[in-house]
Structure 1
Amino acid sequence: MARTELGAFLTARRAGVTPAAANLPVTGERRVPGLRREEVAVLAGVSADYYVRLEQGRERSPSAQVLDALAAALRLDEDGRLHLFRLAGLGPRARAAAVPDRVEPSLLALMDAWPHNPAVVHNRAYDVLASNAIADALFLGWSHSRNLMEVVFTDPAARSFYRDWHDVARNSVAGFRLGHGAAPGDPRVRQVLAGLLESSPEFAELWARHDARGKALEQKRFAHPAVGPLTLTMQTFGVRAAPGQELVVYHAEPGSPGAGALALLGSLAATPGPGPGPG
């Protein structure tokens, strides 16, 4: 029987948990990078045979109680736990229909009222559906693509634009995985996924890790060709009027070099040039 997404996720997460993190003694030679299957079974309170069947796809209907125990054993955060439940068919999944491309006029007006805060709205496939003028200046006109995943992994300029490219790439894939788990039938998500798996070995390697994590409050460091290095704080909000859309807003600490750089970017909004987009 072919391995399921659930089985692949369990295998990948097991490899990422060390015995020390699970408070287990290390004895003998270990041939796996993380926990053994038997160790996960003990931690979750299930039989080793049952857990093996889960990973191999021969068992597809674990109970919520078993999933909770596995989430604890594998040290999953809330996003990882939600993804686990979705893969097992016990979590809410969105309809197969794509997220609407239309952004509410009231949200567009709000974004335009933030002249000093770059703001974008994207869908589950990470297509940018809307951006305000200062976001266009920050990301230099979106000339490569208006899909954030394609920008990060297929635009060579992104590796210098993002001063922490490897972190951006890892976090972008984890967020994309979470969205894919919410709506695996979304045709645009599947299209972007297929394209990246074919065109980017680095994306394929990160995708195989099965990290599933939503965007959180974090700082991003940019190297802008016109205003130089700047560090911005990024916050992400779900758009309740259009499930699957997310609003991403950047801001700089008052008086910081980033705030000065953002002020300069205001003058560039009318004359964007080529360059990478965000992730």
Structure 2
Amino acid sequence: MLREHQDVPDRAGAVALIDSWAGVPAFAHDKHLSVFAANGLATALLPIFAVEVNLARAAFLDRTLERTGIDWDDASEQVASSLRATLASYGEDEEYVEVVGELAALSPDFATVWARSVPAPTRGTFPFRVDRFGVMTLTYQQLLIPGDRGDVLVVWRPADDHSAKRLAALAQSLVD
């Protein structure tokens, strides 16, 4: 599911790869944390992993993460640190200033988390609570997609056998 952008035709390869992984939750976002590709399993796992959702806005303004079983403190630090990493690697641009400015103006929590200056992790583990499937613990890995735009592929895998069974059941429910 490619977000329509005339200036990014090479994202089609990332989209095709992600779509081919029916049993692996995966999505890709740009340097501003806007999702441009996601497979069905990723969005079933957490609806904010959907195309065109900005993960920072979803975390701090919508507060969707607080209702999912994910540790909001850990996730919000990850989001803020990812935005800081973007600034360090790519500098400011109009969209970056818009996202960070909006978060700073509308979310007191963002200012607090932003001030912590925690380094951005490229891997970690989170519990997910999915209706009908219960809690499953998944480990993620972030991989920088080659190019100069700062696009990132995020791939999840079960952290244990219990979670593997629940994730497989969730994946199967999308096929049935």
Smaller-chain TM-score bracket:
0.7 to 0.9
Aligned length: 169
CA distance in 2, matches of 1:181, 1:101: 22
Report the Cα offset of residue 110 of structure 1: 1.6
Correspondence for 1:263: 168
Report the Cα offset of residue 163 of structure 1: 2.9
Correspondence for 1:120: 27
1:11-37 C-alpha deviation (Å, 9 max, x unpaired): xxxxxxxxxxxxxxxxxxxxxxxxxxx
Letter in 1 for 2:123: L
State the superposition RMSD in angstroms.
2.4
Correspondence for 2:56: 149
Correspondence for 1:140: 47
- The SS at the match of 2:28 is strand
Report the Cα offset of residue 242 of structure 1: 4.8
Q: What is the TM-score of this pair, normalised by structure 1?
A: 0.55
Correspondence for 2:74: 167
Which residues of structure 1 form unaligned runs of 5+? Answer: 1-99, 272-279
Matched, 1:221 2:122: no
When you count helix as a share of all residues, which structure comes out higher? Answer: 2
- The SS at the match of 1:223 is strand
Q: What is the TM-score of this pair, normalised by structure 2?
A: 0.84
- The SS at the match of 1:214 is coil
CA distance in 2, matches of 1:197, 1:114: 36
1:224-273 C-alpha deviation (Å, 9 max, x unpaired): 2332111001001000035310000001146x1211221222245479xx
When you count strand as a share of all residues, which structure comes out higher? Answer: 2
Correspondence for 2:4: none
Letter in 1 for 2:21: W
Matched, 1:245 2:137: no
2:94 to 187, 190, 212: 187
Is the 1:137–1:268 contact (alpha carbons within 8 Å) kept by the matching residues of 2?
A: no
Is the 1:116–1:251 contact (alpha carbons within 8 Å) kept by the matching residues of 2?
A: no
Which residues of structure 2 form unaligned runs of 5+? Answer: 1-6
1:27-65 C-alpha deviation (Å, 9 max, x unpaired): xxxxxxxxxxxxxxxxxxxxxxxxxxxxxxxxxxxxxxx
Letter in 2 for 1:186: D
Equivalences for 1:39-58 in 2 at 5 Å?
none
Report the Cα offset of residue 184 of structure 1: 2.7
Is the 1:123–1:129 contact (alpha carbons within 8 Å) kept by the matching residues of 2?
A: yes
Letter in 2 for 1:226: R
- The SS at the match of 1:152 is helix
Larger radius of gyration: 1
CA distance in 2, matches of 1:261, 1:195: 37
1:75-127 C-alpha deviation (Å, 9 max, x unpaired): xxxxxxxxxxxxxxxxxxxxxxxxx6555222222212211111111011100
Moved over 6 A (4+): none
Report the Cα offset of residue 140 of structure 1: 3.0
Alpha-carbon spacing, 1:226–1:148, altered in 2? closer, same or farther (3 Å): farther
